[in-house]
């Protein structure tokens, strides 16, 4: 098992927390759940570190988004119904649900790339570095993901 120095984790936390938190907040729509999910992802890294430490930011991002998806799915399945928030909040919730539904139709890589660009504001180079893929793969994956989301949105209307 690889051990990663505490200073490396501290620096990762300082540097990546805001970006990953924003992505989780966009996916989950709740600041407390986003914070809990991010902290759980860091805790997972401390308890069971990744096999290598060359792309910890990418590892953290992927682990946190996986946890967010599981959390969101568990809430939808477990609740059975939605509460009655204010009208504008309902509109935001419906928008998030539609985007969430479209994102759920994507492959894991496509979803990660879309969230990295549109929620985290990363450019193609940064996405490629974080996910350990080539820049051309980022471009192709984004194009495929957007085409798939457009097609799915068209079927729903």
pLDDT digits (tens, 9 = 90+) for 80-132: 444 444 455 555 555 666 777 777 788 888 988 888 888 778 899 989 988 88
pLDDT value at residue 46: 77
Specify the CATH number for the domain of residue 110: 1.10.10.10
Q: Give exposure, 14-28, as e/b (b: 16+ Cβ within 10 Å).
A: eebeebbbebbbbbb
User: Full-prediction pTM beyond 0.75?
Assistant: no
Q: Give exposure, 59-85, as e/b (b: 16+ Cβ within 10 Å).
A: bbbbbbbbbbbebbeeeeeeeeeeeee
Specify the CATH number for the domain of residue 20: 1.10.1740
Instruction: Please check whether residue 152 is in contact with residue 105, taking contact to mean a CB–CB distance below 8 angstroms.
Output: yes
pLDDT value at residue 156: 60
Q: Last residue of some domain: 29, 64, 81?
A: 81
Query: DSSP letter at 119?
Result: T
Report the candidate in 68, 37, 69, 59 with the shortest Cα–Cα distance to residue 131: 59
User: In terms of residue numbers, what domain contains 66?
Assistant: 1-81
Say which residue, 85 or 32, is predicted with more confidence: 32
Q: Last residue of some domain: 56, 81, 106?
A: 81
């Amino acid at each position: 098992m690889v051990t990663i120095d505490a200073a490396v984790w501290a620096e990762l936390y300082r540097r990546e927390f805001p970006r990953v938190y924003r992505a989780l907040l966009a996916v989950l729509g709740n600041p407390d759940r986003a914070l809990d999910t991010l902290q759980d992802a860091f805790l997972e890294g401390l308890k069971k570190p990744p096999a290598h430490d060359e792309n910890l930011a990418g590892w953290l991002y992927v682990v946190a988004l996986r946890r967010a998806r599981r959390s969101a799915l568990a809430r939808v399945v477990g609740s059975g119904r939605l509460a009655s928030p204010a009208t504008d909040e309902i509109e935001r919730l419906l928008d998030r649900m539609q985007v969430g539904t479209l994102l759920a139709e994507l492959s894991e890589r496509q979803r990660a790339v879309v969230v990295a660009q549109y929620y985290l504001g990363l450019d193609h180079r940064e996405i490629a570095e974080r996910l350990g893929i080539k820049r051309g793969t980022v471009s192709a994956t984004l194009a495929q993901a957007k085409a798939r989301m457009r097609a799915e949105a068209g079927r729903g209307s």
